[in-house]
């Protein structure tokens, strides 16, 4: 195809995609049926992971729960069964350990079957300024929040590719889009998670595997306990999010194949401004919005669900 024809094609498709997006502001997208799908959720022992498990359970899925908290997973499994899950399986797994991820993944494939919806949700935060954070905590943050996604994809993506069917869900963070004072290692890990999910999604499209969907979730602070001590300067613009609300929005995004989910809606505008404003203006806006936090770090190194 020559330059002229390809340019015309891009212009026409751009117009169509824009019109389609505008239409869906008023006409809801059709939700897909995921009954019978096998859903794996990391960090499922508490918080958003537990709430997502209950939401998926109500849709008739088979659940596979991973966490380092055995008792937490037992409670999640109990609640998921009460919510209507066909089957619930749970496994102890430290997602920061590549060999353990591969080993437990093999066990899952033998005992449950292939995973068709993978939700990378496990995460930790140190809550220390960069120069105050011990090297071991920085390494752990990156291993859990970013590298674990590499290993779970390696373990479960081949079956999705073979079937050209599946859904990859990355519970990232608004801190994966905008730097936050006092969260350097956390932001780095979340920027990595977002970039990784985007890149693999593009790889799949380029290879013709359009049956495998990607959803990247970037919420602001969520009231799960992981960010105790965080406050919002302008609660109407950037509210501390309710966990139940976030879980329901994530499930809806999966059911409608939504690629990006930013919460609250104001994050779409804030993220866009960050990418076009001059640096001093960006810093001024960040200060105005309150992207400067002090965090209660009681939950350091607890592999638990978080959303920020």
Output the six-digit token pair for 260.
């990006």
Q: How high is the pLDDT of residue 295?
A: 47
How many C-beta neighbours within 10 Å does residue 158 have?
11
**What one-character DSSP code corresponds to residue 130?**
G
Q: What pLDDT is recorded for position 300?
A: 37
Domain 32-289 has CATH 3.40.50.720: yes
List the domain boundaries for the chain: 32-289
Rounded CA-CA distance 304/69 in Å is: 8
Report the pLDDT value the prediction gives residue 299, as an integer from 0 to 100.
39
> Is 186 part of the annotated catalytic residue set?
yes
Nearest CA to 37 among 210, 169, 154, 201? 169
Q: Are 185 and 138 in contact (CB under 8 A)?
A: yes
DSSP code per residue over 134-184: -HHHHHHHHIIIIIHHHHHHHHHHHHHHHHT-EEEEEE--GGGTS--BT-H
Pick the catalytic residue from 90, 91, 153, 186. Answer: 186
Do 196 and 152 form a contact (C-beta atoms < 8 A)? no
The whole-model pTM stands at: 0.89
pLDDT at residue 225 in the model: 66
Q: What is the pLDDT along the chain (308 residues), one digit of tens a residue?
A: 688 888 888 888 888 888 877 787 677 788 999 999 999 999 999 999 999 999 999 999 999 999 999 999 999 999 999 999 889 999 999 999 999 999 999 999 999 999 999 999 999 988 788 999 999 999 999 999 999 999 999 999 999 999 999 999 999 999 999 888 888 999 999 999 999 999 999 999 999 999 999 999 999 888 876 665 566 677 778 888 999 999 999 999 999 999 999 999 989 888 888 888 888 887 787 777 776 545 444 333 333 334 33
Query: What are the structure tokens assigned to 62, written together?
Result: 């088979």
pLDDT of residue 228: 59
Give pLDDT, residue 306: 40
CA pair distance 120, 105, nearest whole angstrom = 13
């Amino acid at each position: 195809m020559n330059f002229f024809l390809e340019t015309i094609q891009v212009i026409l498709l751009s117009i169509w995609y824009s019109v389609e997006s505008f239409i869906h502001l008023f006409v809801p997208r059709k939700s897909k049926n995921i009954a019978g799908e096998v859903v794996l959720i990391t960090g499922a022992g508490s918080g958003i992971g537990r709430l997502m498990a209950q939401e998926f359970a109500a849709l008739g899925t088979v659940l596979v729960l991973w966490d380092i908290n055995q008792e937490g997973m037992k409670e999640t499994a109990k609640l998921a069964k009460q919510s209507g899950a066909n089957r619930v399986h749970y496994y102890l797994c430290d997602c920061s350990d590549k060999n353990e991820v591969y080993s437990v993944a093999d066990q899952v494939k033998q005992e449950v079957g292939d995973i068709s919806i993978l939700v990378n949700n496990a995460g930790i935060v140190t809550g220390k300024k960069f120069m105050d954070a011990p090297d071991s905590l920085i390494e752990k943050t990156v291993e859990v929040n970013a590298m674990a996604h590499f290993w779970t994809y390696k373990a479960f993506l081949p079956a999705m590719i073979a079937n050209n069917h599946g859904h990859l869900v990355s519970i990232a963070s608004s801190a994966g889009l905008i730097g936050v004072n006092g969260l350097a290692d956390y932001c780095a890990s979340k920027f990595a998670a977002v970039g990784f999910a985007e890149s693999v999604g593009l790889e799949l499209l380029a290879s013709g595997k359009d049956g495998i969907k990607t959803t990247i979730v970037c919420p602001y602070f969520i009231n799960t306990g992981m960010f105790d001590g965080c406050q919002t300067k302008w609660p109407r613009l950037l509210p501390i999010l309710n966990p139940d609300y976030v879980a329901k929005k994530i499930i809806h995004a999966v059911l409608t194949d939504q690629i990006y989910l930013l919460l609250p809606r104001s994050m779409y505008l804030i993220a866009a401004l960050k990418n076009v404003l001059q640096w001093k203006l960006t810093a001024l806006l960040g200060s105005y919005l309150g992207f400067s936090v002090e965090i209660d770090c009681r939950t350091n190194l607890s592999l638990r669900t978080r959303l920020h």
